[in-house]
Structure formats: structure tokens, C-alpha cells
């Protein structure tokens, strides 16, 4: 973090799909680094306290005229933080001020954080998070009776879990014309929504110690760079920093990708929200390429292989982004897949209606998701619709294609 690329993203999945254990395993090296640095901080604090107490006594003597030597206040050790779970944006600003390398805001359920930022009176907090994306923004806290805090080029990363139903609702709200459509959602570029595996495979084997060691060493190397400022955007405030560029081959590859992405973003074929999301890949791909370059400890400028890997990962993320933003138009396939499974099981008979489905209380098939699911299955020839006739309000009924089966799921 810090001089390294930012992270805003998460994993979308229903409860019980083991999102939290997976994220905790990935963050274990970060927590270990934070624990080690905390022990060092406590040792430094223990040495600082008597020195500060002496400074206060010397300052009191100087003010009372008992001494002619003006004491120099000792430097307070700052507590290192890498992960923050639950905090106000003002407290987060203090933490970021003490940790210019950046911090990660982590939560099991991030929709709650986003909804909090949407609440009335939280405009300043939302602006703070928006400014912290990308590491180029500045922010100042000025409070009566408290020392002002000025943040320069600060970084805030956010990662955690999302439940499908809640992320769908948020995406639909954030894609309108209201205050939520300010680009905060589009900054969650590392957002994935994998399909749940219905099969169960028991795996009982010892951890791959070589892989774990390699991952830990990568985290330690990145943390060392973040603290030392060896790799950072050029800045007069950080004279020891230097900027990495693409090498020639990587630059040619990136230019080709950049033009294709711009054509897609400006084509008008995509929903505005998805177009804005993919537009931010202009910075995502270089950021990922830099991250891969540093993880592999390649040396020199960013290489072709790391750039290609970043583009491949961006393609993977793009497919997940399409799924996330499809929920804006109720095109998400999950309800249709659930309905198809019930059809194969024989849970519905010819002549059923939409109300027949959503009154059963099946997971993911609520009143607002049932009709799009039916429309998709009609389009795929799983169902045939019969428009209602006769007096009164007509009700559409559905006939089931006898050729469907589990082999089509």
C-alpha cells in the first residue's frame, strides 16, 4: 500500500459460501506484519514516555524562569496501522495521517459501509473516501480545539464481502441520477461475483509451505517499499522517490490495449454505469502491472509479461463487472438459474403464473426478480408464454418445454 497501487473491491456471495475465511487467509500476512510492527511501536512508546515526561518538566522550568535552555520536544512514535475495521472518517483521517503508506478498510459486509456513506449528513465522509482513491488527493481536517490534520497524496483501500441481494439493490440505486451516482461504486474495480459450486469435494492436505513463504515474502517486500518510499509517484515532498515506466515492449502492448478499451468505453453500446467502470481501467491496468512487477521482484521498468498479466486479470474482472452491473436491468442470470433448477425438479406444472413462483418463497425469486427470470427462460425456449384472455385483468401463464433437463443447466 502507500506507494503501491490501491485496492477497492470485494467478493460477492451469499452467506455460508466461506467468503470470510478466504479473505482472512489472504490477509494473514498483512495482519502478521501489523502485529510485528505494533510490538516495535510499543517498545518505542515505552522509551518515549519517560523522555516526554522529562520534556514537560524542562518546559515547565523554562516557563517559570528556572532554566534558560528551551527544551526540544521528542518525536512521538506513531502507531503503525495496515487494517482498519470500523471507524469514523475523522478517526480514519488521524490513522492515515500517522500512516502515509495507506491503510485498508476491511469489512465482512461492505454494503453497510456504502449505505452509511449514502446517509444524510455523511457527505463529508463520502467525499473523504472518494478523495482517498488513487493516492493523488489531499484533505484537511480543521476542528475547534484540536490540531489540524493535513493529508497529502493519501491512500485508502477498501475490501470485503457483499451479499448478492444487497449489492444488486445498491448497484441499481447508484446507477441512477441521484447523489449516489458519483463514481464511488465504479472505484470498486477488484469486485468479483463467482458462481457457487454445488458439488462438494473434500480436500484434506497440509498447506503448501513454499507457496505460503513466497506470499509472505512478497508482502514483506511490498511493505518495505511502502515504508522506504523507494517506488512512488515523483513528488517534491518525497525527494528519494522514483517513478517506474513501462519498458518499450510493455508500452506498445499497453497502448494497443488502451485504444481498444477507449473505443469500447466511448462506443455508446454499454450502460453509462458500466462504461464509467471500464473507463477507470485506464489506471487499473497500469496499477496491476506495477503490482505484479513488484511482487515478482523483476527489477527495472515494468515489463511486458507483468503488463500482459494485468490485462488478462482486467479481462477476468471485466466479466465479473458485467455481471454486477447487469442487475441494474434485472438481467442477472442467478434467479433464472434457480427457476430452471425448480423446473427440472418438477416443482412447477404447466399453467403456472409469476405469482405461483414468488409466493413460494424460493431463494432469489422475489416479486421483482421473477418476471425477468421468466422472460429469460422464455427467450431460451425453456418456457412458452400464453397471454391471458377473457374478462378482467389478463394473467400470463407459462407452459414448460418437455425437452428440458439437468443436462442444460
Give the residue extent of every domain in the chain.
Answer: 8-198, 334-408
Residues 159 and 109: their CA atoms lie apart, in Å, by: 9
Q: Is the pLDDT of residue 70 over 90?
A: yes
306 φ, ψ to 5°?
-70, -35
Q: Are strands 83-84 and 383-386 parallel, antiparallel or unpaired?
A: unpaired
Position 329 scores a pLDDT of: 58
Contacts of 129 (CB under 8 A, 6+ apart): 89, 117, 156, 158, 184
Position 227 scores a pLDDT of: 74
Domain 334-408 classified CATH 1.20.1440.230? Answer: no
Q: Is the pLDDT of residue 111 over 70?
A: yes
> What is the chain's alpha carbon radius of gyration, rounded to the nearest angstrom?
27
Q: Is the pLDDT of residue 54 over 90?
A: yes
Query: Which of 169-173, 211-215, 386-390: highest mean pLDDT?
Result: 211-215
Residues 350 and 354: their CA atoms lie apart, in Å, by: 12
C-alpha cell at 148: 489540524
- If pLDDT is split at 50, 70 and 90, which confidence band does 50 have? very high
- If pLDDT is split at 50, 70 and 90, which confidence band does 18 have? confident
Which of these ranges, 144-153, 246-255, 316-325, 355-364, has the smallest mean pLDDT? 144-153
- If pLDDT is split at 50, 70 and 90, which confidence band does 266 have? very high
Q: Is the pLDDT of residue 239 over 50?
A: no
Bridge partners (DSSP) of residue 84 are 105
Bridge partners (DSSP) of residue 235 are 238
184 touches 126 (CB < 8 A) = yes
Contacts of 182 (CB under 8 A, 6+ apart): 126, 130
C-alpha cell at 282: 485506464
Percent of the chain with pLDDT strictly greater than 70: 88
**Stretch 40-60: mean pLDDT:** 95
Position 230 scores a pLDDT of: 43
**Helices 248-266 and 281-295 sit at what angle, rounded to 10 degrees?**
150
Which of these ranges, 54-68, 176-190, 212-226, 300-314, has the smallest mean pLDDT? 176-190
State the DSSP H helix or E strand holding residue 163, giving kind and residue range, or none if neither. Answer: none
Contacts of 272 (CB under 8 A, 6+ apart): 175
Contacts of 396 (CB under 8 A, 6+ apart): 353, 354, 385, 386, 387, 388
Position 192 scores a pLDDT of: 93
Per DSSP, 408 falls in state: G
95 touches 85 (CB < 8 A) = no
- If pLDDT is split at 50, 70 and 90, which confidence band does 278 have? very high
Query: Which of these, 249, 349, 373, lies nearest to 304 by C-alpha position?
Result: 249
Bridge partners (DSSP) of residue 162 are 12
Torsion of CA 178, 182, 183, 185, to 10 degrees: -50
Query: Which of these, 139, 124, 123, 137, lies nearest to 179 by C-alpha position?
Result: 123
Chain mean pLDDT for the chain:
84
**Stretch 93-116: mean pLDDT:** 85
Q: Is the pLDDT of residue 182 over 70?
A: no
Q: How far is CA 274 from CA 48, 114, 133, 204, 328, in A?
A: 52, 18, 19, 41, 10
Q: Is the pLDDT of residue 73 over 90?
A: yes
C-alpha cell at 258: 488502451
Neighbours of 160 (CB within 10 A): 21
Amino acid at each position: 500500500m502507500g506507494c503501491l497501487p490501491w485496492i477497492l473491491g470485494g467478493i460477492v456471495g451469499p452467506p455460508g459460501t466461506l467468503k470470510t475465511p478466504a479473505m482472512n487467509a489472504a490477509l494473514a500476512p498483512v495482519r502478521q506484519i501489523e502485529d510485528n510492527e505494533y510490538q516495535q511501536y510499543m517498545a518505542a512508546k515505552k522509551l518515549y514516555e519517560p523522555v516526554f515526561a522529562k520534556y514537560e518538566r524542562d518546559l515547565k522550568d523554562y516557563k517559570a524562569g528556572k532554566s534558560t535552555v528551551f527544551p526540544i520536544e521528542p518525536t512521538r512514535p506513531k502507531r503503525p496501522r495496515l487494517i482498519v475495521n470500523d471507524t469514523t472518517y475523522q478517526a480514519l483521517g488521524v490513522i492515515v495521517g500517522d500512516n502515509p503508506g495507506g491503510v485498508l478498510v476491511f469489512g465482512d459486509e461492505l454494503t453497510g459501509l456504502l449505505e452509511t456513506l449514502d446517509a444524510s449528513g455523511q457527505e463529508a465522509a463520502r467525499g473523504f473516501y472518494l478523495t482517498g482513491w488513487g493516492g493523488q488527493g489531499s484533505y484537511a481536517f480543521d476542528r475547534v480545539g484540536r490540531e489540524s490534520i493535513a493529508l497529502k497524496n493519501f491512500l485508502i483501500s477498501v475490501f470485503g464481502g457483499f451479499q448478492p441481494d444487497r449489492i444488486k439493490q445498491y448497484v441499481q440505486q447508484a446507477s441512477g441520477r441521484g447523489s449516489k451516482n458519483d463514481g464511488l461504486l465504479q472505484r470498486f474495480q477488484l469486485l468479483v461475483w463467482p458462481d457457487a459450486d454445488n458439488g462438494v469435494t473434500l480436500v484434506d492436505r497440509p498447506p503448501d509451505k513454499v507457496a505460503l513463504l513466497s506470499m509472505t515474502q512478497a508482502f514483506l517486500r511490498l511493505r518495505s517499499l511502502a515504508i522506504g518510499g523507494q517506488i512512488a509517484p515523483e513528488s517534491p515532498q518525497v525527494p528519494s522517490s522514483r517513478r517506474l515506466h513501462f519498458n518499450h515492449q510493455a508500452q506498445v502492448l499497453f497502448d494497443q490495449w488502451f485504444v481498444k478499451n477507449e473505443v469500447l468505453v466511448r462506443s455508446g453500446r454499454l450502460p453509462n454505469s458500466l462504461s464509467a467502470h471500464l473507463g477507470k481501467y485506464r489506471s487499473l491496468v497500469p496499477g496491476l502491472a506495477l503490482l505484479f512487477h513488484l511482487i515478482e521482484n523483476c527489477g527495472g521498468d515494468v515489463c511486458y509479461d507483468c503488463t500482459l498479466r494485468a490485462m488478462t486479470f482486467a479481462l477476468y474482472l471485466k466479466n465479473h463487472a458485467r455481471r454486477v452491473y447487469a442487475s441494474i436491468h434485472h438481467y442477472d442470470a442467478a434467479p433464472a438459474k434457480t427457476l430452471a433448477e425448480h423446473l427440472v425438479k418438477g416443482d412447477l406444472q404447466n399453467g403456472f403464473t409469476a405469482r405461483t413462483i414468488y409466493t413460494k418463497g424460493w431463494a432469489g425469486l422475489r416479486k421483482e426478480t421473477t418476471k425477468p427470470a421468466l422472460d429469460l427462460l422464455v427467450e431460451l425456449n425453456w418456457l412458452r408464454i400464453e397471454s391471458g384472455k377473457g374478462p378482467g385483468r389478463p394473467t400470463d401463464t407459462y407452459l414448460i418445454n418437455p425437452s428440458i433437463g439437468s443436462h442444460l443447466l
